[in-house]
Structure 1
């Protein structure tokens, strides 16, 4: 997911604002017959300014839609899910510059966040926060440890999935419930896959350790490191549509689901 749209939207808003300003400061002082085609063009472009400004404000400070392109967050999020991200959950940021102007809250363990990928900030990633600043994280034998304590897991059963998200024949993934404090979320592991390991690492101040819920098929902090606070985009909150044409295209059963 590339970020060029934010820059394009901001530039279009600025350009239409100039035409909106010209129309009010120049042409409105003249008679209605003066200006001809130039005036009509200016009025047309200027009329787009309020609409683009509303879209820019809504998308930059309130909510933004994203599409899930991969299976790294199965079973929580599926390929083809369209989600809504709360942009103000972790503070208000200026569009394009991404600098925080109003702090609001910090991510908690278990939050699913969208962030600018540290190795290519043009791309947005989505993962679950498992380590906060100062936490010590370990991962061995498909078991997560936070500050030396085992994160409790409970077996749910085999993971099968549907359509694009159906399990590949010959593999036997297991679905688990994983607990942070009193909250639980679902994860998937593949017992036959090699055990990835993370020896004890401490999360630096102002950074986060994130993992995909599809633990054996996720490129996350185990591979490329931490997520800086300034790379946060927002918190994933709802699924507003699921599109999978191997199953009739729109799956109404997932629409409106809260992301946990």
Structure 2
């Protein structure tokens, strides 16, 4: 049975998957530290959670994950406020992108900086807290797109999501047998700001935010090393994506 992680920090918590994680974890009685760039949305989410779960403890702070100094400052402040952090969910990210060589290096760079360098700073800050207290659970929100290199507008995004998964694998190997847990989540099509529900015709298997996040929370609560979420159809598809010959993969994507 996995340890109960009471004090949980979630980045990118102002909307989408992060906000729904906060709702579902608050319903389980967890203490939450929520951060994102949009503090107005964080405050609204805090009020919503407290209305549904009056006993919940919800702290909010502004964090731009591309501002390294702010990432460390906010993570340390949350740890001080809560007397430590038991789990950090690295969730903030961008889905922008363009085919390489088509004149939109700006959007690819923005995605790379946010999704990889931002995740690196969040991971560094989380591990600083965990190493100081001697325990902790790091959860990295990757993507099914990390299974293989992908074409066109997904090329840079997929590369960043593969990179953050490798960050966690490196930590898992380094700290094997020590009191730390590491989880990589590979979400498929879950309705959010990045995967809009109105896009379901182009995204077969798209599930609601609530259902998708329920699978994510279940996997992190069990402290699985990695999980494709929801498991169906994404766990079987992950095998196909990893091993399909390129002509087959190209027809799939």
- Whether TM-score is above 0.5 comes out as no
TM-score category (smaller protein): under 0.3
Larger Rg: 1
Q: TM-score under structure 2 normalisation?
A: 0.21
